[in-house]
Amino acid sequence: MAMVRTTYYVESDMPVEKAAKEIAAEQSTGTWTTVPAEREVHENLGARVVSAEGNTVVIDFPEEIFEADNVPQILSVVAGNLFGLGALKACKLMDVDFDPLAKYYPGPEFGIDDVRKMLGAYDRPLVGTIIKPKVGLSPARTAEVAGEAARGGLDLIKDDETLTDQAFCPLETRLTTVMDRLNKIHDQTGKLTFYAVNVTCGADQIVERAELAVDLGANMVMVDILTAGFSAVQALADVKLGVPIHIHRTMHGALTRGPFGISMPVIAKLTRMCGGTNLHTGTYAGKMDRNVCEIDEARDALRRPWAGYRRVWPVASGGLYPQKVRANLDCYGTDVILQAGGGIHGHPDGTTAGVKAMFQAVEAWKAHQTLEEYAKTHKELAGALKRWGPSQ
């Protein structure tokens, strides 16, 4: 019998072995009291405690308890009522071995190698930005900012996670206006720039909205995977949109921080299974809270060989600017998207200069030079150092 192995971090006043048994029972065939029929089903569907040592609990769930191609149901088993058990002071789902279920998911339509080929960008990280201010700009002003970024040679421009189809910046008008600007720059320079337009909405509309975006010329779409749901991404992957899917993890802190929740590596695995091409995984240096071990594991879950899936881009974002590039590339290597918002648009000489400064920081890292040394012959990087201080 194939098993789906799960690992939890657990704190409880009761012995960890007893807490583990309560979790296993609650999430499979048991309940708080004896139920006669449980004996009939436990042998085939009951979860088994593999080990319970220190604060680490390992539990196996039989494959048969899952509706294999139904992520909401899968999560109801491995990350369901257990978080509400009164006897637990802390409980976090740290890892899931999805191997027995992976065959039911085709994975991403596009991966790292596909995107590199589209961009003609090899042996370097990608550099992207978020339109800033994140909300409030008109479609025309959004296109202006996007154009300034593209002229700097940017690989990826994305909407903010809070920008969808509001009245001040309607999606259709925004998309066509931005893509018109980017296509003209592409014709002039030969450099492709992706625009990840945010199609996040309800389950009854997201496929239609994404397909409309592609019909209107989108070369990438973006989904807030935790607010829309993993199945939203799965639905987009199933229809094969023909463009990469950029995944934002907004709301992740409600799951990944604190004593109860789900770790980022689990979210990364599910994103890859469901069809995302890029996933925000955090920074090794930036403004957001970080758990370095979880970033390492999420990074590896996206890029290592697994189930025949394409490799997926981790995205470092949140308080990035040239001075933070080295620390992130030292840990991510070149298969990463460096996503800088204020660190590009806040450059003293403007957005285009901000893009160039980010690329120059990458070049300095590749050349094993300090930013100060490289900035002597690169004015945009020098401007970033003057604005935000010395290299870190």
CATH no., domain 3-102: 3.30.70.150
Q: What is the pLDDT of residue 42?
A: 75
Considering only CA atoms, which of 249, 198, 191 is closest in space to residue 220?
198
How many angstroms separate the CA atoms of 376 and 180, rounded? 37
Calculate mean pLDDT across residues 147-165.
98
How many angstroms separate the CA atoms of 134 and 53, rounded? 46
pLDDT at residue 37 is higher than 70: no
Domain boundaries, the chain: 3-102, 112-388
State both tokens at 286. Answer: 């930036």
Are 21 and 31 in contact, with CB atoms under 8 Å apart? no
Quote the mean pLDDT of the chain: 96
pLDDT at residue 325 is higher than 70: yes
* Residue whose tokens read 């975006």: 213
pLDDT, one tens digit per residue, over 226-281 is 999 999 999 999 999 999 999 999 999 999 998 999 999 999 999 999 999 999 99
Quick one: how far is CA 266 from the chain centroid? 11
pLDDT, one tens digit per residue, over 177-197 is 999 999 999 999 999 999 999
Q: Which of 21, 92, 132, 378 is catalytic?
A: 132
Q: What is the pLDDT of residue 333?
A: 98
> Does 132 qualify as catalytic in the annotation?
yes
pLDDT at residue 391 is higher than 80: no
Is 112-388 in the same CATH topology as 3-102?
Answer: no
Report pTM. 0.96
Q: Which of 21, 92, 158, 248 is catalytic?
A: 248
Secondary structure (DSSP) of 201-243 = --TTTHHHHHHHHHHTT-SEEEEEHHHH-HHHHHHHHHTT-SS
pLDDT at residue 35 is higher than 90: no
> Does 368 qualify as catalytic in the annotation?
no
Say yes or no: domain 112-388 is CATH 3.20.20.110. yes
How many angstroms separate the CA atoms of 163 and 233, rounded? 18
Considering only CA atoms, which of 289, 279, 348 is closest in space to residue 311?
279
Q: What is the pLDDT of residue 38?
A: 65
pLDDT at residue 1 is higher than 80: no
Q: What is the pLDDT of residue 31?
A: 77
